[in-house]
Amino acid sequence: MKSPLLSLPGAVPAEGVDEGVAAHYGELFREQRALADGAGFVDLSHRGVVTVTGSDRLSWLHLLLTQHVSELPAGQATEALILSANGHIEHALYLVDDGETIWAHVEPGTQDALIAYLESMKFFYRVEVADRTDEFAVVHLPAGSIAPAPEGVAVRETAHGRDLFLPRTDLESYAAENGPAAGLLAYEALRVEAHRPRLGFETDHRTIPHELGWIGTAVHLQKGCYRGQETVARVQNLGKPPRRLVFLHLDGSEVHLPVAGTPLQLAADGAEGRKLGFITTAVRHHELGPIALGLIKRNVPVDAELVAGDIAAAQEVVVQP
């Protein structure tokens, strides 16, 4: 779904899964600095929007999600996962309940599969699931922003900022009143800086929540009965995850960034060495320079010097080995 804000001056379209919104508006670092200072907004209108209504909505979702939501207070934001039977991550939901409706935004293009799964699990529960992507657009306001939320708009507020579920018909007028706009590259740079994983970027077909630090933020360990819960409990109590998320400072003298999937190896072994992991997201940060997130084998020493292809990569621990 192409955003009307791509008509703003300097807008350069994003590619891949983020197609449909602006990667930047001509000044990447200025846009990052504005967000870091609590100014502007990010157009996330390409993300899927799903709502759940009905008197059983919280108790029903509590049975399906990794998060404890049966008593979720109105207005309190949370995030949750849906796992496969083997405990692998299938969906990530960023949600809030406004007292009558649960609003969730999800990765672009994943809403159809999510809704199909939810519909298959309705049984006798009094709930209605709807795809609202055509009607509502997600707009992100950074932490510290004093921009008001329009009356009647569902707001999901976290330490990282506020997500507004804005009617699509209001997107252009909201942008005109609450600029400057920042592109997705600026948003992603701050996400990587904050060590926040993203479905489809830091995950693959075998990722479990422990590997990404999603235990606690998206997975509640004091609840059970959801699909994949046995794997979560077994790894938490008896084992260790096979991989761990790592934050990387990349060599700033290199012109190019490593693409997603670039192998991570020991610097001493070079490009011919054993693959220890791979880059998941690499970005340019306005203060830190080139940085990245990656997944590496759990037993890689935390002080090991790595290379991503031919680029030196110094690691910081995100998930303890």
What value does the mean pLDDT take over residues 98-105?
Answer: 98
pLDDT at 271: 72
Write out the E strands in the chain.
12-13, 22-24, 41-44, 48-53, 78-83, 89-97, 101-106, 128-131, 136-142, 154-158, 161-167, 181-182, 243-250, 263-266, 277-285, 289-297, 306-308, 311-317
* Best CA proximity match to 193, nearest among 72, 71, 290, 91: 290
Superfamily of domain 242-320: Aminomethyltransferase beta-barrel domains (2.40.30.110)
pTM beyond 0.85: yes
pLDDT tens digits, 115-125: 999 999 999 99
Is the CATH number of domain 48-131 3.40.309.10? no
pLDDT tens digits, 253-284: 878 999 999 999 999 887 778 999 999 999 99
CA atoms within 13 A on the CB side of 162: 19
State the pLDDT confidence band at 225, using cuts at 50, 70 and 90: confident
pLDDT-above-90 percentage for the chain: 93
What is the Cα–Cα distance from 42 to 252, expressed in whole angstroms?
A: 26
Residue 222: pLDDT over 80 = yes
How buried is 49 (Cβ within 10 angstroms: 0-12 exposed, 13-18 middle, 19+ buried)? buried
Residue 44: pLDDT over 90 = yes
Neighbours of 246 (CB within 10 A): 25
pLDDT tens digits, 132-150: 999 999 999 999 999 999 9
Token pair belonging to 117? 């799964």
What value does the mean pLDDT take over residues 283-307?
Answer: 96
**Residue extents of the structural domains in the chain:** 4-47+135-194, 48-131, 242-320
| Residue carrying the six token digits 């707009």 | 139
